[in-house]
Structure 1
Amino acid sequence: MDMPTVSELIRTSDPQDWRPGDAWLAGGTVLFSYGSDTLQRLLDITAAGWEPLAVSDGGLEIGATCTIAELHAFPGTAPADVRTRWPALVLVRPCCESFVASFKVWNVSTVGGNVCTGLPAGPMTALTAALDGVALVHSPDGTCRRIPVADLVIGDGVTALAPGELLRSISLPEAALRARTAFRRQSLTNLGRSGVLLIGRVDEDGGFVLTVTAATKRPVQLRFPALPAAVELRAELNGTIDGGLWHDDVHGLPEWRHYMTERLAEEIRAELAAAGSGPVSEPVSAPASASAPKEGSL
């Protein structure tokens, strides 16, 4: 960490206290890792007293300061009726484990912070976008607005948040939590950052939603009124994600991400189409296998 220009730490969760040169501070795992030579003040929201997780008839509200450890524990500590009613909770742990980080990081890193960094591989962006999460944002002018998480991250490290805006919480609707789901993740190494992370779900009305993250610079969602045929899904993927949207960094070339996205999307479609398919009990997460094209081979 190197932030030599920071001169003040203020405990506040009021966006009206924000001024140019400030940064919101929660877990700080990314902020302290990257450092800054322009910030003047850190606005610490960890003492805001926001409830980490709140269950209601309308769904689940995740406080922005909810830690990864708290969220990871939730499927095992939630009331039995909640676990039964919301089979999509099976996604929580594999998404948390996609951090591939130590328990020390899990205990301080926050759900809101992971989303607000706007990283393509952000697993909390993947989880909340896939379950139609809606972010509640507080603005410096005293107003509030709501925006789907799928629209909040708009590029590699870029979000739709205006200067000074603060993410307060993310709400996951009951309808999405009741869905059947399937999860797939790939990285180039066993403990590497996600290169591809896909989540599919089938809602109670039969509608199918596929959310693509990590492989693309921002979340991409495909929606169908029913499970599509394999050829239809592939055509929609290729028609929606153009060449410039595939992410390109040391964790995977665009060609590899494209190939794996098509492959894993079909695995998800087939799994959810299987007769008597229920929620995924053991989501698949694995490094690039010998059967997949090697990085840079396409």
Structure 2
Amino acid sequence: MSAAAAPLLRVEGLTKHFHTTKNLFGKPTHTVRAVEGVSFEIGHSETLGLVGESGSGKSTTGRLILRLEEPTAGQVFFEGQDISRLRPHALAPIRRRLQVVFQDPFSSLNPRLRIGESVGEPLRTHGLISSAGERREKVAALFRQVGLDPRFMDRFPHQFSGGQRQRIGIARAIALGPKLIVADEPITALDVSIQAQIVNLFLDLQEEMGMAYLFIAHDLGMVRHLCHRVAVMLRGRIVEMGSTEQVFANPRHPYTRALISAAPIPDPEREAARRRIPYDLVPPPPGAVLQEVEPGHWALSAA
């Protein structure tokens, strides 16, 4: 496979177990299998949507890719390099090309720093600016890129709305020109009227900068609008994965069908006629494996 055809990100057998309680001897007595054998790829300039209910392991998967959590097992390959066991000093240059946008834009910003300093901090940390004047110029350009007035650079986070703060978080994430952004439910905390603006901003930036996204979300409507492919998670495992068109038009796993049936329809008559498909949220059986049900479309079924 040529370098151009190789995926930007490849995840193989990613696993994370949390030990929640310990006995008198300090040994764990209960294990939560947050992520269990997750594998997928993201191509250059591609958006993969990761969907599922709360507690399904979506955000933990994103944190494992970013190395904010250490995996119990499995590997993460970014630009062909295994980054899952890199030491912090070797990981530092990788972080320039692998960035994150968090769910809560307010908690991800230092309330004591002016916004211009927060957005410019990655540039200073990675030695990409030589003076305060150059920093202000680059931060002003980033503000304009995400639709903010550069005159706001000297304000503090509490002086902005939720949508504006998320734009600030996006500006900080793109400051280093990343190849991949993990967007961890970036629109969940926003008003409905603002969510579409932020999603359209992601699309505009992707077209302009050629970035790829891992877009973690609950909102299936936004996922359908933004993502090229979709992976559905249940109890730490991927139960279905394929192109957005395949998954929404022909869902093959019962849980996927239940999720799609639960999504509201912005049409009063169709919404009134919508019938939810129930699904018992039991873990997938141990012997279940992903099988290709049509080219590029995978669903979990018994081995």
TM-score (norm 2): 0.25
Structure number with greater Rg is 2
Query: Which protein, 1 or 2, shows the higher relative CO under an 8 Å CA cutoff with sep ≥ 6?
Result: 2
TM-score (norm 1): 0.26
